[in-house]
Amino acid sequence: MFMPKRPLSVTLDDANLLWLKGRAAGRKRRSLSAALDEVLTQARKGGHCGDAARSVVGTIDIAGDDPALERADTDVQAWVDESLRRPFVVRATRPAYGVAPVKKTSRTRRRG
């Protein structure tokens, strides 16, 4: 069924706008309007909004031997230090400098 679309001005919080832009890019939508239309359609139909996580519950595992995260700062700092000690290679390519080729143009005759 064809449903005509109508223009609408929407004011969004910065965080919501950033989320919508990310959703549009992640789902390869042509525009923010298309992404917003998709979100509203799914919400209206009672479904969730795509693959986006709605909660962080169950996404983080806490070590059983440190449930209060008392060693968290020390552990994270150790991981950062270890990462920084790894060698890494940086390669920079030189830009190709030169003179741009001159385009030949046809001469126009002066009429006088």
Give Cβ neighbours of residue 61 (< 8 Å, ≥ 6 apart): none
Lowest model confidence (mean pLDDT) among 39-48, 50-59, 83-92: 50-59
Q: How far apart are CA 76 and CA 67, in angstroms?
A: 15
pTM (2 decimals)? 0.39
What's the pLDDT at 91? 76
pLDDT of residue 49: 56
pLDDT reported for residue 111? 60
Distance in angstroms (rounded) separating the CA atoms of residues 72 and 17: 33
